[in-house]
Structure 1
Amino acid sequence: MSTFRTRAGVAALALLATAAASCASGKATGGAPAIGGDGVKTGPGVSATTITVGVLTDLTGPYASLGKSLTQAQRLYFDQVNAAGGVCGRRYEVVVRDHGYDTQKAVAAYAEIAPKAAAIPQFIGSPMVTALRQRIDADKLLTIPMAWATSLLGSRAIQVTGTTYDIDMINGVEFLVKEKGIKTGDRIGHLYFEGDYGESALNGSKYAAGKLGLEVVEQKVKATDQDMSAQVAAFKAAGVKAVLVSVGPRQAASLVGVALARGMDVPFVGSNSAYAPQLLATPAAPALLKDYYVMTAGAPISADLPAMRKLAADYQAKYPGETLDNAVPTGWGAAMIVDDAVKKACAAKDLSRDGILAAHRSQSGFEGGLGTPMDFTAVDKPSSRASYVVKPDKTALGGSVIFRPAAVSDLAEGYPVPVG
């Protein structure tokens, strides 16, 4: 998920978050664990009959379509678990709050939900999670952000899934060199958002470029910028041979559309937030279909995997007519991660927050059938360094297909990932 604020702004919001959350819910939301009648230690969000999970999402802001798909997929997952008898003698209850991609609203929503949640399987927005990071850590509340900036690493309670943006860009630059003819001495462009998302991605492209003898031509934009004509002109004047794209879908569509119209025929490699299948219904479609690629840790919904095929069928049955995009397996996978931790904690008879976190952090080989093996044992490292290369495809389920299977480049393998 993209980050739309500067670090200074996030720092100020973090102070606001700490104050607001403290006022709203006391010094901590953890509470004292108790022993239930079944001999299982319980904590906040866990009763004798229910396990409550909180969803802090965007249903009315810039990522509303993403939030809708993520949330529906997670409701589907927990509904299916409940239908199969629940977990640890309890049923899941999903509590959803829409923050509209507004940090202050997210702070208020967290203050409301945290005291009664055992885990948070979805929290959209790097700025929002960053603002609440200290609080989440103090609460020991397992939280899955829908964001992949390296600034979110280093927390025991916050689990970044898959790769981080910089890892994806390192793998992307090596892909350009090995398969798209980019060679030592060439210039490559990088269009990126200001803030953690863009800065994390830029760290990766600059690291790879330095190792491979390339020059990065930077163009930084704000999330409110819509027309990328000036950036295309700058890239064209610099003679770039490829462009990395770490912005939102609308900016990506403008970039490739303007570039193609101006005769700039180069490959584009986007971060996982820089594409949405809805773009294939816009005038940018020909440019996206021509030579645009997306680096992502997650296999697309079109992947030929039994679990993915079942998920697609189940989702379409529950939500007929709804867009089936790659946020569906992302949301489903995050719900599965939380459920996996709860099941392991139940086996250890400890459904306290600390018990759920300990169970989660013991998992070194989580995969879940969705094509993304992850290691959750190290809080200061990405859970994966392997990126798929995905390509837009109008005929494919979800609007994209695997162009190259998930792989870890030599550079990404040895990259020292910055933390926090």
Structure 2
Amino acid sequence: MIHRRQASRGLAAALATLVVLTAAGCSSKAKSTDDSGTGAGGVKSGKGVTDKTIAVGALTDMTGVYATLGKSVTQAQQLYVKQVNAAGGICGRQLELTVRDHGYDPQKALSAYTELEPKVVGYAQFIGSPFVAAVKQRVDGQDKGVVLPQAWSASLLGSPYIRVLGATYDVETINAVDFLVSEKGLKAGDKLGHVYFEGDYGENALAGSRHAAGKAGLTVVEQKIKPTDNDMSAQVAALKQAGVKAIVISAGPRQAASLVGVAAATKLQVPVIGNNSAFAPQLLGTQAGPALEKMYWFASPSLPIGADTPAAQKLVTDYKAAYPGDSLDNGIVAGWTAASVFGEALKKACAAKDLTREGVDKALLTLNSYDAGFGMKHDFSDPKAPSSRESVILQPDKSVTGGMRTVREPFVSDAAKSFTPKAG
């Protein structure tokens, strides 16, 4: 559901400019949440809420670098909405999920956010850490709609409205490196390769590998790439020459498949571990499939879609029935979890008779032990912290449901426990 530092600043500046321009195009009404009133059931309401409906936004990537993730996240959320509505809705109102595809394009993402801002109570989906970060000031200052992004950058922490579900990329990477040290033979004095996307996602993950390396006595060999870079031959050659004993990849599924495939072909037989968005089960059907099953692992903020839990089993059955032609992946888990968290916040806001944006946010703050059924308990009471520091280590396996097998149950490494993510 993802530059060089000077170039990163340039992207941030460009995004900030777009935010100003798109915000300037809003009506005066769209700039305020003071247009609340009391509606059906004596419940206060504001933007996105009527006596009959509650509109929730989804800003997704169906055509860009995370198209596979975006499709799964969106369809899982549409399934959630359908089931909730069939059971009577929330607060006597039907949910409406309004979806916009930004194709992982900054201008499209910000234009879509501006379009939906006056129409929805909040967002159960927003893919792309840089895009969420670009609207953060606007969300916090004037819009005040809860955003549950499918992005895990620590720069998103600290906002009372943008809430990260699960470990941030830095914490997740620290846990991933702990797995390499404790179970894959990485030891003090070894070199650890790290291939990462330029920008928010990759650089936040890099902060984690640097911290973990410092604790474990490792040296990080860095390879920065762009989302448009699909052939990892040059990166593998550089890491092989450097003599790395393991590799972390913080990029997309295509880049992970290329990295592992090229490493296997060139006899760089070292364990490779990725962040949660660096795998899609569809890769198992490619030429890289055998190598992925043999030498690739990835960290996840939840148990996989094929987990042996009642919630996972029901979701698999329901999703297959709704989308019989589509494969199963962890985007479904991410989408369902975010939708169910948003739904729970709406239910609590209804109980408090306040479905305004501020009311939904206050309700979210009361969720301090929420379990969506995938092995993690989420605590939303502290906006400065991710909802969890736990990670699950998964391994590609085409023989199991969803193509992912759990090899390490939810855990928090000692290095992650003592680490403080740098909020934006």
Alignment TM-score > 0.5, same fold:
yes
Q: Which amino acid is 1:15 matched to?
A: T
Displacement, 1:37? 4.0
SS of aligned partner of 2:25:
helix
1:278 corresponds to = 282
Q: Which amino acid is 1:134 matched to?
A: Q
2:310 corresponds to = 306
Separation in 2, partners of 1:176, 1:109: 40
Contact persistence 1:174–1:208 (CA under 8 A)? yes
Contact persistence 1:69–1:327 (CA under 8 A)? yes
Contact persistence 1:21–1:110 (CA under 8 A)? no
Identity %: 55
Q: Which amino acid is 2:58 matched to?
A: V
Separation in 2, partners of 1:369, 1:224: 35
1:19 corresponds to = 21
Q: Which amino acid is 2:102 matched to?
A: H
Contact persistence 2:35–2:46 (CA under 8 A)? yes
Separation in 2, partners of 1:8, 1:379: 28
- For residues 19-75 of structure 1, the C-alpha deviation after alignment (integer angstroms, 9 at most, x for no partner) is 312322436142422111421111111111111111111222222222111111101
Q: Which amino acid is 2:26 matched to?
A: A
2:337 corresponds to = 333
Q: 1:125 to 1:29 in 2, by over 3 A?
A: farther
Q: 1:29 to 1:56 in 2, by over 3 A?
A: farther
Separation in 2, partners of 1:291, 1:3: 28
Q: Does 1:108 align with 2:111?
A: yes
Aligned length: 420
Contact persistence 1:29–1:44 (CA under 8 A)? no
Q: Point out where structure 2 has 5 or more consecutive residues left out of the alignment.
A: none
Contact persistence 2:2–2:66 (CA under 8 A)? no
2:2 corresponds to = 2
Contact persistence 1:30–1:139 (CA under 8 A)? yes
Displacement, 1:404? 0.6
Displacement, 1:114? 1.2
Separation in 2, partners of 1:61, 1:231: 23
- Which moved further from structure 2: 125-134 or 380-389? 125-134
Q: Which amino acid is 1:321 matched to?
A: G
SS of aligned partner of 2:370:
coil
- Work out which of the residue numbers 158, 161, 164 in structure 2 matches 1:160: 164
Q: Which amino acid is 2:322 matched to?
A: K
Displacement, 1:145? 0.9
Q: Could you list the runs of 4 or more consecutive aligned residues of structure 1 that deviate by over 3 angstroms after TM superposition?
A: none
Separation in 1, partners of 2:112, 2:411: 38
Contact persistence 1:163–1:297 (CA under 8 A)? yes
Q: Does 1:33 align with 2:36?
A: yes
Q: Does 1:54 align with 2:26?
A: no
Q: Does 1:198 align with 2:218?
A: no
**CA RMSD in angstroms, aligned pairs only:** 1.5
- Work out which of the residue numbers 82, 87, 99 in structure 2 matches 1:84: 87
2:230 corresponds to = 226
Displacement, 1:166? 0.7
Contact persistence 1:300–1:400 (CA under 8 A)? yes
Displacement, 1:126? 1.3
- Work out which of the residue numbers 401, 405, 416 in structure 2 matches 1:401: 405
2:74 corresponds to = 71
Q: Which amino acid is 1:61 matched to?
A: G
Contact persistence 1:15–1:131 (CA under 8 A)? no
Separation in 2, partners of 1:168, 1:37: 43
SS of aligned partner of 2:76:
helix
Q: Which amino acid is 1:83 matched to?
A: A
1:343 corresponds to = 347
Q: Which amino acid is 2:25 matched to?
A: C
Separation in 1, partners of 2:388, 2:40: 39
Separation in 2, partners of 1:101, 1:6: 16
